[in-house]
C-alpha cells in the first residue's frame, strides 16, 4: 500500500509537466510519444556502437599479429 502511494507521487511528479496528453499514463507515451523516437535513436546508436566494438577487436587482433612478426 505504501509502495503504491509512493509510486503515485513519483508518477505525478514525472507527468506534471506533461499534462498535454490525457492518455499519457506512462513514460513512453508522455509528450506526444516523443520518447519512442529517442528510444529508436538510442537503439540505432547502440547497434552502431556494437559494430565499432567488433571492428576494434578485429583490428586489435591484426595489430597483435603484426607485432609478433616484427
Instruction: Give the residues lining the site for other proteins (CB under 8 A).
Output: 20-23, 28-29, 31-34, 36-37, 39-41, 43-44, 47-48, 50-51, 55, 58-59, 61-62, 65-66, 69
Toward other proteins, which CB reaches closer, 12 or 22? 22
Kindly state the cell numbers that stand for 52.
565499432
Residue 18 CA to residue 31 CA, distance in Å, equals: 6
Tally of CB atoms within 10 A around 3: 7
Phi, psi for residue 45 in degrees, rounded to 5: -60, -45
Toward other proteins, which CB reaches closer, 6 or 14? 14
Q: How far is the CB of 41 from other proteins (least distance, A)?
A: 6
Amino acid at each position: 500500500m505504501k509502495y503504491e502511494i509512493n509510486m503515485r507521487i513519483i508518477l505525478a511528479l514525472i507527468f506534471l509537466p506533461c499534462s498535454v496528453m490525457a492518455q499519457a499514463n506512462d513514460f513512453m507515451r508522455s509528450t506526444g510519444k516523443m520518447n519512442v523516437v529517442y528510444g529508436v535513436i538510442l537503439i540505432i546508436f547502440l547497434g552502431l556502437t556494437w559494430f565499432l566494438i567488433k571492428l576494434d577487436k578485429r583490428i586489435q587482433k591484426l595489430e597483435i599479429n603484426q607485432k609478433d612478426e616484427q
